[in-house]
Amino acid sequence: MRCPQCGGDQFHLLGDGRIQCRQCRKRITVDSKTTRLDGVARGGIVDLFWRFVPADRGAELLGLNRKTVQGHYNRIREEIERQNRRDWPLTEREGAEPDPGKDGTQVLLWLFTKEAKVHLRFSPAEGEGGCLGPSSVVDAPNRTARERLAIETFRHRAWHPGASAEEVRLGMHFWAFAKSRLTRYRGGFRRKFPLFMAEMEYRFNYREHPEIPGNLKDLWSRLGPR
């Protein structure tokens, strides 16, 4: 879809469900019967996803079914997860299960840091060209808490002796950032925890962007309509 006034193809989603051309600021009413999941509607879903708008509210704004919006939110998370892996190609060790610590704690997340970004894995991993290893980890106090994903009981701690204080601090900031935002989903994150953590990794690494990162739009454009 293009703006009928200037021909622009970039839009903002307004709170009343209309869209606004980024170029000429013209406001346009979207006909949900004819524009469902076209470029504008799908772009609106990306906007809502990035702003933490719940799927049911997003469905109201876009005139779509809640399950449709929720399904596309998960598709965005799946593509984000693939993009995270492309950005940081670590190979997980198959079947790796860390032994419980002396106090019964169990590692849930392994955090790697590079160029002020955090990359996470759910098992020990090896990087190409010799990786320092995870600078820090997130622990569950026991197996039950780990299985239930009781994130309020998890704690962050340093792991690799060669990691700098700044790397460990970055991991600590990431976990605080992720935990506070996961609570917005009111437990919904537990059903697809790896995908939600991939989302947290992406959001943290692009936290300085006031607008949706351009490459998130690019990721979405590759998904195509469904």
Residues 112 and 178 in one domain: yes
Residues 93 and 75 in one domain: no
Residues 136 and 180 in one domain: yes
Residues 55 and 96 in one domain: no
174 vs 66, residue with greater confidence = 174
In a domain, 59, yes or no: yes
**Helices assigned H by DSSP within the chain:** 32-35, 39-50, 55-62, 66-87, 143-148, 165-182, 193-205, 214-223
**Backbone φ, ψ for residue 169 (5° rounding):** -65, -40
pTM across the whole model: 0.76
Residue 32 has pLDDT above 50, yes or no: no
* Count of the separate structural domains present in the chain: 2
The alpha carbons of the chain give a radius of gyration, in whole angstroms, of 20
Residues 193 and 154 in one domain: yes
Structural domain including 160 reads 89-205
Residues 128 and 163 in one domain: yes
Cβ atoms within 10 A of the Cβ of 147, count? 10
Residues 67 and 95 in one domain: no
Residues 80 and 94 in one domain: no
Residue 55 has pLDDT above 50, yes or no: yes
Residues 15 and 69 in one domain: yes
Residue 130 has pLDDT above 50, yes or no: no
